């Protein structure tokens, strides 16, 4: 990949993920950067083929143009929403950057940290769902784990309560 920095943003197409993506493109991404979208999905059983090959290492980089293609999105089990695609297409028009996605399967905490090292990322932006104390204890906080385990700087973008995007 050409360019000077690989900036990662964890995306799952939720409201907090869109808030983190918007923050990254407005405050961090600059001309010449590679914006790497990280998506982690639940492990699934595949009969064979490409998905089985990529399960351990993640997919190859998927260009933004392919993310907008419904048949390709379906192939990867993605459901990119119009707002996320609009944010990405707008930043590509405004700044000289490359946007790609890499999809992983497994525990988001572990896979995001693995991606930081294997890509490698210069920095990472991740949203925070703002789970209550009980849910956070039961489910664990992905952002908290990543902040404490990733080998690059991590920015956590908090979604304020009741804020949808």
Confidence of residue 4 (pLDDT cuts 50, 70, 90): confident
pLDDT of 144: 85
Beta-carbon contacts of residue 69 (< 8 Å; ≥ 6 apart): none
pLDDT of 164: 41
Separation of alpha carbons 37 and 60, rounded Å: 12
What residue ranges define each of the domains in the chain, with the CATH number in brackets? 6-158 (3.40.50.620)
Q: Stretch 128-153: mean pLDDT, rounded? A: 74
Q: Contact, 164 vs 148, CB < 8 A?
A: no
Separation of alpha carbons 42 and 55, rounded Å: 11
pLDDT of 163: 41
Separation of alpha carbons 126 and 158, rounded Å: 9
Query: Which pLDDT tens digit goes with each residue over 87-122?
Result: 999 999 999 999 999 999 888 999 999 999 999 999
Which among 123, 121, 125, 110 has a CA at the least distance from the CA of 1? 121
φ, ψ dihedrals at 39, nearest 5°? -125, 130
Q: Contact, 102 vs 115, CB < 8 A?
A: yes
Q: Contact, 20 vs 84, CB < 8 A?
A: no
Q: Which two tokens stand for residue 39?
A: 């998506």
The reported pTM is 0.86
Output the DSSP codes for 77-90. Answer: T----HHHHHHHHH
pLDDT of 119: 95
């Amino acid at each position: 990949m050409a360019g000077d920095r690989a900036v990662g943003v964890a995306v799952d197409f939720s409201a907090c993920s869109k808030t983190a993506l918007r923050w990254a493109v407005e405050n961090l991404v600059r001309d010449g950067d590679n914006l790497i979208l990280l998506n982690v999905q639940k492990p699934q059983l595949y009969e064979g083929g490409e998905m089985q090959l990529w399960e351990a290492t993640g997919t190859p980089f998927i260009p933004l143009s392919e993310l907008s293609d419904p048949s390709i999105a379906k192939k990867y089990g993605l459901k990119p929403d119009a707002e996320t695609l609009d944010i990405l297409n707008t930043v590509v028009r405004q700044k000289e950057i490359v946007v790609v996605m890499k999809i992983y399967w497994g525990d988001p905490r572990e896979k995001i940290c693995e991606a930081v090292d294997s890509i490698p990322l210069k920095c990472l932006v991740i949203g925070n769902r703002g789970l209550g104390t009980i849910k956070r204890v039961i489910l664990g906080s992905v952002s908290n784990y990543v902040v404490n385990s990733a080998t690059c700087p991590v920015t956590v973008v908090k979604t304020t309560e009741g804020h949808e995007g």
